[in-house]
Amino acid sequence: MAPTITPLDATFGATITDIDLAHLDQPAWQRVEDAFHEYAVLIFPGQNLTDEAQVAFAMRFGEIELLRGDPAAKAVAISNQKPDGSVLQPEEHRYQALRGNEGWHTDSSYMPLAAKASMLAALVVPSAGGETAWADMRAAYDALDNDQKERIEGLSAHHSLYQSQAEIGHIVESGTAYGYHNKGAPLRPLVKTHPVTGRKSLFIGRHAYQIPGLDDGEAKALLDDLLNFACQPPRTYTHGWQPGDLIIWDNRCVLHAARPYDYSETRVMRHTRVAGDPASELAATARDARASGFEPSTSNI
C-alpha cells in the first residue's frame, strides 16, 4: 500500500498514514524523505514503534546524536517520571530542562554541531495539556518585509543553553553539564539556507541571545520581535498526542515547544535526535576546532 500524505491546514506539516515505519520499503522511504523536505514536520499516528524500530527509522535520516553522554542512549526518555516511578520536583535539574522545553527552540543549536532532525514518540500522555507545538521558520522568513530581511541579513546570534535556562531561573555552573559551554556560545546566522531545498528560514529560538554588532538590549528586542512574529498562525501547529504517535521534524527550519501540563501526572516521550551535517550545521565558531580534531559532542535535551 502506498503511504497517504495529507498536508496540515498550515504553511507546513503533513500527516502520513497507510505506512508501517517498522517495515519500510524503498519507495515508501523515498516518499517519506521527500515529504520531510517539503513539509518539515511529519506526523505518523499510531505507529507504536519499539525503541529499536524508532532508532532504525531515525538512522535513515543520518547519524544519531548521542544524548546525555551515553553511547547506548540513542533513544532517550523525555519524561517527568523517575526510574522509581515518582515524578520530578522543581528543584531537580531534569525538571528545569523539561520546563525549558516549553520555550520555542531548535534542538542542539547551543552545541557546536546543531541537530538535523528530532523525533518524538508518545508513550504515556497526561489527561490534559502536554501537547507539542511547531512553527515554520521558512514561512516566517518569507513573511518578513524587505526592510526586515535587509536588517537581519548578515547578522548572527550566539546560542547558549546556559543563557536560555538562566532566563527561566535555572542556573547551572558553566561547563558542568552537557550543553553548557565554557568556551563561548556557538555563533549562527539568523538566516539559514536549507542545505537540501535551498529555502531560507529564520534560525532563532530561546537559545539565541547575543548578536555581534548590536548591544544586548537591541539584540534581545530584535530576537523577541522576530520570535513573536514568527510563531503565529498559519505558521504553527499544535499536536495533541495519543500514545503510539510518532513525529519527526527538521530542526534546520522549524522551531518547537512543549506545552505545559500538570506535573503530578506522568508524561513519557521517547526522543531520538539526528546529528546535523558539519558542512551546514557546524557553527562558524567551531570550525577551527574541527580542523584541529574537533569531535561532535554529546548534548543535553
Shortest separation between residue 94's beta carbon and ligand OGA, angstroms: 12
107 binds ligand OGA, rule: CB under 6 A:
yes
Residue 101 is a binding residue for ligand OGA (CB under 6 A): yes
Quote the least distance from Cβ 209 to ligand OGA, whole Å: 18
**Partner from Mn ion, ligand OGA, none contacting 258, C-beta within 5 to 8 A by type:** ligand OGA
| From candidates 5, 40, 258, 286, binder to ligand OGA by CB under 6 A | 258
If one counts every other C-beta atom within 10 angstroms of the C-beta of residue 138, the result is 22
CB of 149 to ligand OGA, least distance (A): 28
Closest distance of CB 295 from ligand OGA, Å: 22
Which residue stretch of 52-60, 66-74, 101-109, 123-131 sits at the interface with Mn ion (rule: CB under 5 A)?
101-109
Answer yes or no whether residue 65 interacts with Mn ion by CB under 5 A.
no
CB-nearer residue toward ligand OGA: 53 or 255: 255
Give least dist CB 105 to Mn ion, A: 6
Q: Is 107 in the site for Mn ion (CB under 5 A)?
A: yes
| 274 is a site residue for ligand OGA (CB under 6 A) | no
The residues that bridge with 193 in the sheet, in sequence order, are 200
Which DSSP category does 116 fall into? Answer: E
109 binds, among Mn ion, ligand OGA, none (CB under 5 to 8 A by kind): none
Q: Output the smallest distance, CB 119 to Mn ion, in A.
A: 11
Rg (alpha carbons) of the chain, rounded to whole number: 18
Tell me 11's DSSP state.
S
From the list 58, 88, 120, 253, which residue makes contact with ligand OGA (rule: CB under 6 A)?
120
CA distances for 268 relative to 85, 163, 166, 208, 246, angstroms: 11, 26, 25, 28, 13
Q: Is 184 exposed, middle or buried (0-12, 13-18, 19+ CB in 10 A)?
A: exposed
Q: Is 256 in the site for ligand OGA (CB under 6 A)?
A: yes
Cell of 172: 547551572
CB 174 within 8 A of CB 110: no
Provide the CB-side half-sphere exposure for 99 (13 A, CA). 18
> 107 or 144: whose CB is closer to ligand OGA?
107
The burial of 265, by beta-carbon neighbours within 10 Å (0-12 exposed, 13-18 middle, 19 or more buried), is given as middle
Q: How far is CA 66 from the centre of its chain?
A: 14
- Binding to ligand OGA in span 8-67, by CB under 6 A: none
Contact 191, 102 (CB under 8 A): no
* Total site size for ligand OGA, rule CB under 6 A: 11
Q: Write the DSSP symbol of residue 34.
A: H
**In this complex, which beta carbon is closest to Mn ion, that of residue 108 or of residue 266?**
108
CA separation (Å) from 197 to 105, 107, 129, 147, 235? 21, 20, 34, 24, 18
Q: What is the DSSP code (8-state) at residue 74?
A: S
Q: Which residue is nearest to ligand OGA (CB)?
A: 258
Binding site for Mn ion (CB under 5 A): 107
Binding site for ligand OGA (CB under 6 A): 78, 101, 107, 118, 120, 132, 256, 258, 269, 271, 301
